[in-house]
Amino acid sequence: MTYRGQIKNGVVVFDGKPPLKEGTVVRVEAEPEPQKECAPDTAEVAVKHEESQGEEWDRLLREMEEEEQVQMDAVQELWRRRTSKK
């Protein structure tokens, strides 16, 4: 059976009156603290950071695609030169 309560002055004080006899051995397990919500301005900063990171990734991918295209163009040009000499 599970009973809820709080620590007050170093003693567990149960909610309500649980039917526990004096001397009953119990195990106390602390509940995880609820997650604190971000302040709106903190959340806004996080979103802007994520957006800027997304923009940075997009820029890097564009650069990689452009570099790959330049390399591919160079390979095609070399191939064209070699095959046109024959």
Residue-wise pLDDT tens digits, 6-59: 889 988 888 998 888 989 898 888 888 877 766 666 666 666 767 677 777 788
Q: What is the pLDDT of residue 86?
A: 56
61-83 average pLDDT score:
83
Domain presence at residue 10: yes
Exposed / middle / buried, residue 16 (Cβ in 10 Å: 0-12, 13-18, 19+): exposed
- Bridge partners (DSSP) of residue 57 are none
pLDDT at 85: 66
- What does the DSSP 8-state code read for residue 16? S
Domain that holds residue 20: 5-30+39-81
Does 86 reside within a domain? no
- Average pLDDT on 66-80 reads 82
CA pair distance 75, 65, nearest whole angstrom: 15
In a domain, 51, yes or no: yes
The C-alpha angle 26, 31, 34, rounded to 5 degrees, equals 165
Within a domain: 45? yes
Q: Does 70 map to a domain?
A: yes
Domain count for the chain = 1
Asked if the structure places residue 44 within a domain, the reply is yes
